Structure 1
Amino acid sequence: MKQTRVLHVSDTHLGYRQYCSDIRRNDFFDNFEQTIEIAVDRDVDAVVHTGDLFHGSNPSIQNIDRCAEILGQLDRAGIPMYGIVGNHERKNDTQLLDLVGRMGDVRRLKKEPTLVGNIALYGIDAIPERRWEGASFELAEPPAEATTTVLCLHQSLAPPLDEEHAKHDLEDVIDRVGIELDGIALGDIHRPKSDLIGDTEVWYAGSTARTQKNQTQAGTVQLLKVKDGDLSRKQIGLDTRSFCPITVEFGSDDGAGHLRDRLRQESLQDAVAALELTGERGAVTANDAVTAAREEGAAVVTVSDERGRVDLDSGSLDVREVASHDDAVEERLNDEEFPSVVHEADSRIRTDDDLPTRTDPAADEFESDLREAMASEFDDEEAATVEVDE
């Protein structure tokens, strides 16, 4: 029987200006392009993307255009791409994946099977936590010619995660789908991780680029192979920009020379330098650290200045690391199913320097769009609750 090969990609976060850097934005696109080149070079039967193709729900025209340009390589090679919607890109109306699909051979996976060779692929878009209990997971039966079933999800599940870092129980999913699954391909967690639950293999592909300073493994995709009903998987690493987390500890007498000596211990040429300044606060500023790292060749520099901070006992606190306040706001908004106009207003408020600084004129900028969105939402709710006699 012919072997079926599928490249599993996830969490590409296209358009993400990590550390407010256009260099990092381009890195995320370059890493995605590498995955497509791998798919073409290995002549796979399909590419599967398990969510967060884009970093936000309202990417710019330029970001959509570059994504479509990269995916054009798949079209020319006759390789389809299938995917699901992640929490970062989820919208109430037309999903971005559907929009991209109009430009090429990109299709959303559903609870009905999509046959690729001898693999029946299924997909369920990212489910908000508050809707988990009432969500439907039941999948249609696979076609007779399928030897292997694979479900694609975008959730944090235990296993493969430990219970402390997961939001839901994987066995709950397996119990609710209604069919036997050979594999569950996951997105949302940005590091590769896998487990075996009974006869079902479960794995995270990992992200194609590093999204956090403490992410030790970045730039991975998974090559799935199915022959005679046997599913195997090979992890492939991408050629990504090097990432250098550096701690510089200052004593009371340490200055710029101490900083430069520490930086010269690392290879910073064209790297992302993630600096953490600790110890005694002195004459060296965070801006001085940025300048010094750039002079040592770093392409992108981010600095966390922890000097002079009071240590707190955080053992009883639920602490989550975020790259910035903007990321924290965006992550929370993506967890809510707001209309796209809300995301657009939020983005303008935080980034548009031409927005009026006084409250009333600024509010006038958004009033008509927000009122229109509210009317549409209430009309939709009303329509959904009206009973029609037949």
Structure 2
Amino acid sequence: MVRFLHLSDTHLGARQYMMELREEDFYDAFREAIDIGLAEDVDFFVHSGDLFHYADPSNRALTEFKNAALRIRESGKKMYVVLGDHDRPKRIDFPAADIFDHLNIVLLGRDGCESTLYSGNGEEVMICGISNMKGFRKARLPEEYRKADAMAKDSLSSVLITHQAVEGYLPPEECEALKNEIPVNFSYMAFGHIHDSDQVKMGRSVFAYAGSTEMTSTREIKACARNGKAVNLVTLENGNAVVKRINLRRVRPQIEIDAREENYLALVRDALEKNPVHNGKLPIVTLKISGKSDRLKVGETLEKMKDTAIFRKPEFISEDRSAIEKPDDNSMKSYFAAYFKDNAEMASLAEKMYESLLNDDDDRTYSTVLGYLGITEER
């Protein structure tokens, strides 16, 4: 029997809302995840990408990870990691995780399918890694998954570590993999990239997004309030995987409120009553107020409540903006069209820039903007 901890999308170095305390929150959640693995005396750790928030992490982020890696090595364990899209350097360079190989950090699948073998407790586990393959690498991903699946077929116990968005979890243009491309012969598939957790049984395989350890976007607030943030404690025995979710208790609560001036205060008070200070951490409130508002009065009212929560600067939405209709489908093209309404030119520009940025094509983004401005690019 082998036990390991699956964590993902820790985004060390992220500073949400440009708040220093939010950067500390990400380190705090990561430390707790490592604490859980060591307390459970797992055989090894698995990290499925976006270890860091930036490909060139700060010295503080590197130090936080170094401290965790030292604890892992001192316990005689290893951590197997793959690169997420945030981890992959934008130019030819070494990934940050690669410099910690002397501390039992094993980077797998930088350029494609790569495997290693773990032996312990009478169990042999084939561990295969495939890092994020967005952009020009995406076309190679199906073949890399086929290679990995063939390798897993010959192993009783096996783990796939990979960082991709699978269709159905994000809009189609943001996904790297189709469902029918996912391997079927692994005991456990540790996926990263999607920040909400999910777990699905696929034949003999357990497919799992562990989810992020903290929130990087307001889009995650509702799911986090519903399910929390957690890590997966996985037990492997004779090729079968059993998963136990362990909640992280140091995650700062966040609240998102859509209101009008006449009811925002009641909604804020009700939300704070349901989401009090947690582990010494004040909740962060994102407040959107639609319609006409006395902005100065709202600001003064929230200032008086600063001992109960951290209030971001409220967003005041005019009647015109609040009337924007949500598109019927889930494509970004429809969202741009709905937002810009009758301005087809701006909708087209937004779509082109989105596609080029999604594919890490900075040159195309630059050319698109110059073309829109009517500026001839110098050669």
Shared fold (TM-score greater than 0.5)?
A: yes
After TM superposition, the structure 1 = structure 2 runs for residues 227-266 of structure 1, keeping only pairs within 5 Å, are 227-239=237-249, 240-251=251-262, 265=273
The residue type paired with residue 222 of structure 1 is N
Q: Please give the alpha-carbon distance, in whole angstroms, between the structure 1 residues aligned to 2:219 and 2:359.
A: 23
Q: Give the alignment's Cα RMSD to 1 decimal.
A: 3.3
Q: Give the structure with the higher percent helix.
A: 2
TM-aligned CA deviation for residue 97 of structure 1 = 1.1
Distance 1:163 1:182, change over 3 A: farther
User: In structure 2, what is the equivalent of residue 386 of structure 1?
Assistant: none
AA matched with 1:225:
T
Q: Counterparts of 1:267-278 in structure 2 under 5 Å?
A: 267-269=275-277, 270-278=281-289
User: Against the structure 1 CA distance between its residues 207 and 172, is the aligned structure 2 distance closer, same or farther, given a 3 Å change threshold?
Assistant: same
Q: How far off its partner does 1:168 sit?
A: 2.6
Name 2:167's counterpart in structure 1: 158
Measured at CA, do residues 73 and 302 of structure 1 come closer, stay the same or move farther in structure 2, by a change above 3 Å? Answer: farther
Deviation at 1:197, TM superposition (A): 2.5
CA distance in 2, matches of 1:125, 1:49: 11
Q: Which runs of 5+ in 2 are unaligned?
A: 337-352, 364-379
- 1:105-184 matches, cutoff 5 A: 105-110=104-109, 111-117=113-119, 118-135=124-141, 136-137=143-144, 138-139=147-148, 141=151, 146-158=155-167, 166-174=175-183, 180-184=185-189
* Corresponding position of 2:349: none
Deviations for 1:26-83, whole angstroms, at most 9, x for unmatched residues? 0100100001111111110100000000011111112211221122211221111110
How far residue 143 of structure 1 moved from its aligned partner, in angstroms, is 10
Residues 248, 271 of structure 1: CA spacing in aligned structure 2 closer, same or farther, 3 A cutoff? farther
Q: Matched residues in 2 for 1:16 and 1:330: separation?
A: 22
Q: State the alpha-carbon separation in 2 of the partners of residues 115 and 243 from structure 1.
A: 41
* Structure 1 segments unaligned to the other structure (5+ residues): 321-328, 340-390
> Structure 1 length normalisation: TM-score?
0.72
**Residue aligned with 1:134, SS:** helix
- Residue 369 of structure 1 corresponds to none
The equivalent position to 1:314 in structure 2, one of 315, 323, 326, is 326
Q: Which amino acid aligns with 1:157?
A: V
Given that 2:8 and 2:211 are in contact with CA atoms closer than 8 Å, whether structure 1 keeps it comes out as yes
CA distance in 2, matches of 1:227, 1:160: 29
CA shift at 1:289, angstroms? 6.2
Q: Residues 73-131 of structure 1: CA distance to partner in whole angstroms, max 9, x if unpaired?
A: 112211111100000121132011102334x1101123343222322110011001443
Q: Residues 79-90 of structure 1 correspond to what in structure 2 (within 5 A)?
A: 79-90=77-88
Contact 1:194 1:203 in 2 (8 A): yes
Does structure 1 residue 188 correspond to structure 2 residue 197? no
**Residue type of the alignment partner of 1:4:** V
Please show how residues 336-351 of structure 1 align to structure 2 within 5 Å: 336=360
Deviations 1:267-313 (A, max 9, x none): 45333323323233222347446534424x22463533324434112
| d(CA) in 2 for partners of 1:183, 1:264 | 39
Aligned partners of 1:63 and 1:330: how far apart in 2? 28
Q: Scaled by the length of structure 2, what TM-score is found?
A: 0.74
Question: Is residue 282 from structure 1 mapped to residue 293 from structure 2 by the alignment?
Answer: yes
Q: Contact (CA 8 Å) 2:73, 2:104: kept in 1 or not?
A: yes
